[in-house]
Amino acid sequence: MPTEMSQTPELTHLQPDGTPRMVDVGHKSTTHRSAVARGRIRLPENLDLQPLTGELVTAKGSVLHTAIIAGTQAVKRTADLIPFCHPLPVESIHFTHRFLENCELELTCEVSLTHKTGVEMEALTGVSVALLTVYDMCKSAGQDMVMHSIEILKKSGGKANIDKTR
C-alpha cells in the first residue's frame, strides 16, 4: 500500500517508494552558486553593547566574533549535520550583523562556491549556529531570548533563483 510520502514526487530526497535518498547531482552543470540566509534573535535588554564597535561583550568574551567563528565552522560541517547534504568545496563565507530596535540582532550568512549543487543549507546552518552561539554567550543576562525569522534571502546559480531583498 503506497504511503502519503510516496505520492509526493516534488520531494527530491524521496524515492518513488518513499525511502530516503541523496539526490544525484552528477548530471548537473557546474556553476557559481551562492545563498544568503538571515536570522534574528531578541536579546536581553541588560546586555552591554559597546557603542564604538557595536560589539556585544559578556563574561565569555566577544559575542559576535565567537558567533562568526561558530557559524563558519557550521557551514563547513553542514554535510555532517544534515543527512542528505552533499559535502561541498565552499569558496566563501561572509557574515554581517546589524542591531535593530527592540534589542534585536540580525545576522546574515552568505556562502558561495562553484559546483553542481547549491549552498542554501550551508547558509541556513551557518546563521542558525551563529544565533545559537549568541544565545549561549548571552544566556547569563537572561534566557528569554527568541531566535526567529531564519530564512533564505537570496539564492543564485541554480535553476531556481530567489531574491527577497528587493
Active site residues: 136
- Which three three-digit cell numbers place residue 145? 531570548
Query: CA 152 to CA 133: how far, in whole Å?
Result: 20
Query: CA 118 to CA 162: how far, in whole Å?
Result: 12
**Residue whose C-alpha cell is 564604538:** 52
Sheet holding 31-42, edge to edge: 92-100, 104-115, 31-42, 146-156, 162-163
